[in-house]
């Protein structure tokens, strides 16, 4: 083995180790990015469900007032339309919420 090949071998080993470590670092960063995107998608889905539940609770309260003889028919009708609009947006929202299309049904309109 000549001196040139020995020097070349000594120089290539650290370079090979550096390239390998760089690839591992890149792969981990890519995995972290995928996990972060997944968490953002889940947070957006959770936020949409939270808003929908809030609107359902508002309608529930108005329905209770209406059933007990309160004069909230106009507010209840308005809230029912708002809720129906939100359910439609929930159905049409993008990825991460495909499960909602199977579990949500159209809510009846209250006049």
Q: CA 18 to CA 37: how far, in whole Å? A: 29
**Token digits of residue 65:** 């007032």
Q: Is residue 111 part of a domain?
A: no
Q: Is residue 108 part of a domain?
A: no
Domain extent at residue 72: 3-103
Q: What is the pLDDT of residues 40-55, one digit of tens each?
A: 999 988 998 898 899 8
The pLDDT score that the predictor gives to residue 87 is: 84
Element housing 24 (H / E): helix 3-67
Q: Is residue 91 part of a domain?
A: yes
> Cβ–Cβ contacts within 10 Å for residue 80, how many?
19
Model confidence at 105: pLDDT above 90? no
Model confidence at 95: pLDDT above 50? no
> Alpha carbon 5 to chain centroid distance?
56
Tell me if 62 sits within 8 A of 42, measured CB to CB: no
Q: Is residue 110 part of a domain?
A: no
Of residues 102 and 37, the one with the higher pLDDT is 37
Measured on CA atoms in the order 23, 26, 27, 28, is the torsion positive or negative?
A: positive
Of residues 24 and 77, the one with the higher pLDDT is 24
Q: How many domains does the chain have?
A: 1
């Amino acid at each position: 083995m000549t001196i040139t090949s020995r020097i070349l071998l000594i120089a290539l080993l650290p370079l090979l180790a550096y390239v390998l470590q760089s690839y591992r670092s890149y792969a981990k960063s890519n995995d972290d990015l995928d996990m972060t995107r997944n968490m953002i998608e889940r947070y957006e889905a959770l936020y949409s469900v939270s808003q929908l539940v809030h609107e359902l609770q508002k309608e529930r309260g108005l329905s209770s007032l209406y059933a007990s003889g309160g004069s909230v028919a106009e507010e209840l009708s308005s809230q029912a339309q708002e809720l129906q609009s939100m359910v439609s947006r929930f159905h049409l929202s993008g990825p991460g919420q495909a499960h909602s299309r199977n579990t949500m049904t159209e809510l009846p309109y209250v006049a």
